Structure 1
Amino acid sequence: MTGYASAQHGASATGAETDARAPQTRRLGLEIRSVNSRFLDLSFRLPDELRVMEPTLRALLTARLKRGKVEVRAALDSDDGNSLQDPPARLLQRLNSLQDSVRAWLPSAAPLTVADALRLCANAHSGNEDWSEAVPALAEEALTALLAAREREGKRLATMLLDRVKQLRALAAQAVPMVPLLVEQQRQRFMERWKEAMALTDGSTLPEAARDRALTEATAFAIRIDVAEEITRLDSHLDEIERLLKKGGEVGKRLDFLIQELHREANTLGSKSAALDLTRISVDMKVLIEQMREQVQNIE
């Protein structure tokens, strides 16, 4: 199922090289996105500092998720209020010494800019931060929020699907009395044709034989357009869909199969149609079933 959750964590890190000024604060942001998939497919977009945490995150997600294409993103950002702090003097001295050593061997090398110095100082400082406890805790928080979002979406989808089931039952109920009516109408047409034929006959055909033939054709027509079996199977599939939706759990694959069976019965109903009203019912059923199929794709 689809879902999205994010969590933020602010960490204060003070390295051994820092002076007495206020420590630099960095924010850890983590997002989890999930879309439907037949299997569990995990992908991670982590900064270099957090790549070592990927196995921990993978184990955490695998333990609580069964299906879905899940993407985990993490980012480390400096707090706006502290991002321009003065770099430690000892670190600047070290950079200057390193620059002199490099330029002694490479005289044509460009000198460090202010931006370069600030970036290198920030990178050196960030290396002292330990996220081994913060990352799993933050991932647990985001994952709990994701599961809650998926559960809320699942309830909305279940409500929608149950409404479509109700509409399909109403359409099936409309179709049930139509078949006997159509059979009776067709029988009347055959009998009228039989009477017309008897009025024009020269006596070479026995009236009883012609009448029996007309009734036989009417019976064959009734068998050909009978959709009682399709309606029964459709009702059975709808019962099973209702049962699965009320039961909950991992029902996505079974619902997908039942939707295919519903579509099959609606198609058969349309192919047997002998009246525009039955054709309309078949079309309306297929529209509702297609709406259900699209939503079932999002159910785990």
Structure 2
Amino acid sequence: MIRSMTAYASAERAGPSGTLTCELRTVNHRYLEISPRLPEDMRGFESALRERIGARLSRGKVDITVRLRAEPGAAEGPRVNGAMLARLSELALDFEQRFPRMTIEFTELLRFPGVLQQPDTDADALQGALLDVLEQALVALNDTRAREGEKLGEMLKERLDGIERIVADVRVWLPEIQAALRARLEGRLADIRQPVEPGRLEQELVLQITRVDVDEELDRLTTHIGEARRVLALKEPVGRRLDFLMQEFNREANTLGSKSVDSRTTNAAVELKVLIEQMREQVQNIE
């Protein structure tokens, strides 16, 4: 299945502690790289979060941001430890008598460890809520990646059709090119004033045709076209396979250009490289 590695999705879920928001942003990357940003009290869920993402995505750089927004009445707020605050107040009064110039702010007392106590939270319920909202975001993300991937797949198929047409044209031209090569060789040998050895023309012709023979390159290009179409139809991530195929396409196009003795095959090699480069750029964004 063709899926793009570039997408964005978000989801929200209301829970006992407030509203959880999960945002996912993905861009192309050689491997799967996950960069989570979680509230401090959810740091312990990072491993489960990574496992869930890894089960859904195989490649791409994934930025995930989770926010917890407390709603009025959704959860009990911080509690004040009255006993500790009273003891700190007694100490503050005592210090003020001993050190008249010293001032102690009420907010400083609240910052003392243990004065403000967060309500106990159900860690399992919170983790479950996090994974639920993550799953919603992942479903939306993969839907977007699939839609973008479908567009990429159509573009790749059009380029493959173009490559196939060029290969067919070159096959048609080859007999003409070989005939023209023979005529040029005969003309050169005719200009030689010394007698030519019997069979010399045929030997030179065979040698030149062998040097410029591109049947093997055309056959390999045809094979690569068929393989690329097969890979595009697979129901699994295919980005790495397509990336390898682009290297093979490029190799054959380069060889075709280096063996060219005719402007038509030279132009064909250039057009091939343009199409292959367009494909290669898009393949970099396929999972």
**TM-score, scaled to structure 1:** 0.77
- The equivalent position to 2:276 in structure 1, one of 289, 292, 300, is 289
Partner of 1:75: 67
Partner of 1:100: 89
C-alpha displacement at 1:53, in angstroms?
A: 2.0
CA contact (8 A) 2:81 2:117 kept: no
- Structure 1: tracts of 5 or more residues without a match: 14-25
CA offsets 1:227-285 (integer angstroms, 9 cap, x no match): 11100001101100001101231222221111111110000001111122212211111
Partner of 1:10: 14
The answer to whether 1:219 aligns with 2:219 is: no
Q: Which amino acid aligns with 1:228?
A: D
Q: CA RMSD in A?
A: 3.2
- Give the Cα–Cα distance (whole angstroms) in 2 for the partners of residues 35 and 154 of structure 1: 13
Structure 1 residues 74 and 206, CA gap change in structure 2 (3 angstroms): same
- Give the Cα–Cα distance (whole angstroms) in 2 for the partners of residues 152 and 176 of structure 1: 37
**Counterpart secondary structure, 2:264:** helix
Structure 1 residues 99 and 292, CA gap change in structure 2 (3 angstroms): farther
CA offsets 1:119-176 (integer angstroms, 9 cap, x no match): x9xx856765762332121111111112222222222221111111011111112222
- Higher relative contact order structure (alpha carbons within 8 Å, sequence separation ≥ 6): 2
- Structure 2: tracts of 5 or more residues without a match: 97-101
C-alpha displacement at 1:96, in angstroms?
A: 6.7
Which region of structure 1 is more displaced relative to structure 2, 163-172 or 47-56? 47-56
- The equivalent position to 1:37 in structure 2, one of 8, 23, 29, is 29
- Give the Cα–Cα distance (whole angstroms) in 2 for the partners of residues 230 and 106 of structure 1: 91
- Give the Cα–Cα distance (whole angstroms) in 1 for the partners of residues 181 and 40 of structure 2: 78
The answer to whether 1:111 aligns with 2:105 is: yes
Structure 1 residues 193 and 140, CA gap change in structure 2 (3 angstroms): closer
- Give the Cα–Cα distance (whole angstroms) in 1 for the partners of residues 95 and 16 of structure 2: 38
Q: Which amino acid aligns with 1:43?
A: S
Runs of 4+ more than 4 Å apart: 90-99, 104-107, 123-130
**TM-score, scaled to structure 2:** 0.80
Partner of 1:179: 174
Partner of 1:18: none
CA contact (8 A) 2:242 2:283 kept: yes
1:54-65 correspondence to structure 2 within 5 Å? 54-65=46-57
CA offsets 1:66-91 (integer angstroms, 9 cap, x no match): 33332321012345xx59xxx89x85
C-alpha displacement at 1:101, in angstroms?
A: 5.1
Structure 1 residues 124 and 32, CA gap change in structure 2 (3 angstroms): farther
CA contact (8 A) 1:273 1:279 kept: yes
CA contact (8 A) 2:243 2:280 kept: yes
- Give the Cα–Cα distance (whole angstroms) in 2 for the partners of residues 277 and 101 of structure 1: 97
1:52-201 correspondence to structure 2 within 5 Å? 52-78=44-70, 91=80, 97=86, 100=89, 103-104=92-93, 108=102, 110-112=104-106, 128=121, 131-197=126-192, 201=193
- Give the Cα–Cα distance (whole angstroms) in 2 for the partners of residues 111 and 91 of structure 1: 16
C-alpha displacement at 1:56, in angstroms?
A: 2.4
- Give the Cα–Cα distance (whole angstroms) in 2 for the partners of residues 106 and 272 of structure 1: 94
- Give the Cα–Cα distance (whole angstroms) in 1 for the partners of residues 139 and 271 of structure 2: 40
Structure 1 residues 52 and 277, CA gap change in structure 2 (3 angstroms): same
Structure 1 residues 177 and 102, CA gap change in structure 2 (3 angstroms): farther
Identity %: 37
